[in-house]
């Protein structure tokens, strides 16, 4: 069988970019500044990718005197990066820390915009890109699962969570949930066996992370897959059997079998007694009410409020993941990208980012097609993930994947339908 390498196959490898940060790479490229700020290795790789894409796009359009169509959301994201950088200079209490936070937040956005412009320039088939992205990511999960099960005791040792490179267990779980929703979006392009194999692997991986938010999102996606698709007896039997197997497996008493180990089962999924995130949300809302109008509009400045980089470098312990400010108790990062935006970039930054999502959904709705409901499911997972954690701020590699997939979903829609997005 002849192996054919296409541009789409090569482009699809971008989905694995966040997972190249091994210890060797980190030792070379991670930069720590005064023990208070850091530039992660993945940021440097994203900058190289931005330069590569931008040079090609610039040479093929501007230098060739061809006009490159700009999508509305690309313009808004570029505006956000420029505005936020200006306020790094104006509001920074520590210029180095603020600049590093800006890199973590905005380089993924610039990467996604440049990568989509490159995709549009070469007229790449985005449906094929998604197919290979899902396949590559699934293979990565299978390899990582084998390693974690065989050598780390995943699903047996309660101290082990599925957390390969590219973010901790929780954010990796959210990424799998997003890929799950993406798979539903292009489900008709997969063969049935491959489609359900991919969904099963993603489900097992999500359960391995022990992330309640990710598991519930995936279970909801399973539900949507059957309720919103064409139900038949085979699907019902498969889904029911899978849920029974997962439930039984999750409740096996491994401690009785192996004496020295145990397994955290579905009891964690039903544990809704932790209110630290809720308390942080309520405290942030009260705190924002007390801010002067200027700080509500423009924020406190990147890195000026949450000492996340200091915590990440020096502590990195969930047990000490809280701090007190003006009598309010907060998590060191609010586990909510949108609240993080309001606090450090103000309502101006929040509105720009929100408008990208709102405009994308509105454009998809106006020109909706049969897969519209699964497009909305994808954006639902995108939004909920950032309501449950600060993906945009704390994991630049994962953030780059989130932004790239979101922009490509909209880009694919207009590639498939042959319609253009108006900027009005």
Cα 308 from Cα 300, distance rounded (Å): 14
Cβ distance 51 to 152 under 8 Å?
Answer: no
pLDDT for 240 equals: 65
Q: Residue 264's pLDDT is what?
A: 46
Can you tell me the distance from the alpha carbon of 375 to that of 412, in angstroms, rounded to the nearest whole number? 11
* CA–CA dist 175, 13 (Å, integer): 15
CA diameter of the chain: 72
d(C-alpha 211, C-alpha 215), whole Å: 6
What are the tokens at 160? 């082990």
Alpha-carbon span 44 to 95, nearest angstrom = 19
User: Tell me, what's the pLDDT at 238?
Assistant: 67
Cα–Cα distance, 139 to 198 (Å, whole number) = 9
CA distance 308 to 343: 13
Separation of alpha carbons 180 and 300, rounded Å? 36
CB 116 within 8 A of CB 407: yes
Q: What is the dihedral of CA 43, 47, 52, 57, to 10 degrees?
A: 120
What pLDDT was estimated at residue 197? 94
For 149, other C-beta atoms within 10 Å of its C-beta total 16
Give the model's pLDDT for residue 230: 63
Cα distances (Å, whole numbers) of residue 260 to 51, 209, 251, 390? 52, 21, 17, 36
The sign of the CA dihedral 57, 10, 125, 127 is negative
Beta bridge partners of 329: 324
Residues 406/360, Cβ–Cβ less than 8 Å: yes
CA R_g for the chain = 22
Contacts of 255 (CB under 8 A, 6+ apart): 261, 262, 263
Q: Report pTM.
A: 0.86
Residue 10 to residue 99: CA distance in whole angstroms:
32
Residue 330: its H or E element: strand 328-331
Q: What is the C-alpha to C-alpha distance for residues 413 and 407, in angstroms, rounded to an integer?
A: 10
The answer to whether 103 touches 398, Cβ cutoff 8 Å, is no
* In the chain, where the domains are located: 7-270+338-417
Residue 248: per-residue pLDDT: 60
Instruction: Give the pLDDT score at 201.
Output: 95
Contact 107, 396 (CB under 8 A): yes
Taking the alpha carbons at both ends of the chain, their separation in whole angstroms is 49
| Residue 400 · residue 171 · CB < 8 Å | no
Place of tokens 């953030």: 399
- Tens-binned pLDDT, residue by residue, of the chain (424 aa): 566 789 999 999 999 999 988 777 877 888 888 888 888 999 999 999 999 998 888 887 655 554 445 566 667 777 788 878 877 777 777 888 888 999 999 999 999 989 998 998 888 999 999 999 999 999 999 999 999 999 988 888 877 889 887 778 899 999 999 999 999 999 888 998 999 999 999 999 999 998 888 988 998 898 888 777 665 566 666 666 766 666 565 555 544 554 444 444 444 554 444 567 778 888 888 888 888 988 898 888 888 888 888 888 887 666 677 787 777 788 888 889 999 999 998 998 899 889 888 888 888 887 777 678 888 899 999 999 999 899 999 999 999 999 999 999 988 887 776 644 332 2
**178 CB-near residues (< 8 Å, 6+ apart):** 378, 381, 382, 385, 401, 402, 405
- H-run or E-run covering 103: helix 95-122
Confidence (pLDDT) at 26: 78
DSSP-derived 3-state class of residue 208: helix
Alpha helices in 210-302 (DSSP H): 212-227, 233-250, 254-258, 276-289, 293-298
């Amino acid at each position: 069988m002849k192996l054919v390498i296409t541009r789409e196959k090569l482009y699809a490898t971008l989905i694995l970019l966040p997972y190249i940060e091994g210890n060797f790479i980190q030792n070379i490229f991670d930069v720590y500044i005064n023990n208070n700020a850091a530039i992660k290795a993945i940021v440097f790789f994203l900058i190289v990718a931005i330069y590569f894409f931008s040079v090609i796009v610039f040479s093929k359009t501007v230098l060739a005197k061809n006009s490159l169509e700009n999508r509305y959301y690309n313009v808004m994201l570029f505006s956000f990066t420029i505005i936020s950088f200006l306020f790094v200079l104006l509001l920074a209490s520590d210029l180095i820390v603020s600049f590093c936070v800006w890199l973590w937040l905005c380089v993924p956005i610039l990467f996604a915009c440049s990568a989509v412009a490159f995709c549009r320039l070469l007229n790449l088939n985005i449906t094929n890109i998604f197919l290979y992205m899902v396949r590559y990511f699934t293979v990565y999960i299978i390899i990582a699962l084998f390693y974690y099960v065989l050598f780390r005791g995943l699903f047996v040792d309660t101290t082990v969570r599925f957390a390969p490179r590219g973010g901790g267990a929780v954010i990796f779980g959210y990424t799998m949930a997003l890929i799950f929703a993406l798979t539903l979006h292009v489900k008709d392009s997969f063969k049935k066996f491959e489609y359900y194999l991919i969904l099963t692997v993603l489900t097992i991986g999500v359960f391995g992370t022990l992330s309640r938010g990710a598991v519930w999102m995936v279970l909801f996606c399973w539900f949507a897959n059957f309720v919103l698709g064409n139900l038949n007896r085979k699907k019902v039997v498969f889904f029911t059997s899978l849920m029974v197997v997962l439930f039984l497996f999750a409740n096996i008493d491994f401690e009785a079998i192996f004496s020295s180990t145990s397994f955290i089962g579905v009891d964690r999924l039903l544990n809704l007694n932790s209110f630290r995130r809720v308390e942080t949300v309520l405290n942030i809302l009260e705190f924002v009410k007390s801010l002067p109008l200027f700080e509500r509009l423009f924020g406190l400045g990147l890195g000026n409020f949450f000492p996340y980089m200091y915590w990440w470098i020096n502590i990195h312990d969930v047990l000490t993941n809280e701090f007190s400010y003006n009598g309010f108790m907060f998590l060191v990062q609010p586990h909510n990208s949108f609240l993080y935006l309001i606090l450090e970039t103000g309502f101006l930054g929040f509105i720009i980012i929100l408008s990208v999502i709102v405009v994308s959904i509105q454009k998809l709705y106006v020109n909706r097609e049969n897969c519209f409901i699964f497009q909305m499911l994808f954006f639902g997972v995108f939004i909920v993930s950032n309501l449950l954690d600060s993906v945009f701020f704390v994991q630049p590699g994962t953030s780059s994947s989130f932004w790239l997939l979101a922009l490509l979903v909209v880009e694919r829609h207009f590639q498939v339908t042959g319609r253009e997005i108006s900027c009005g």
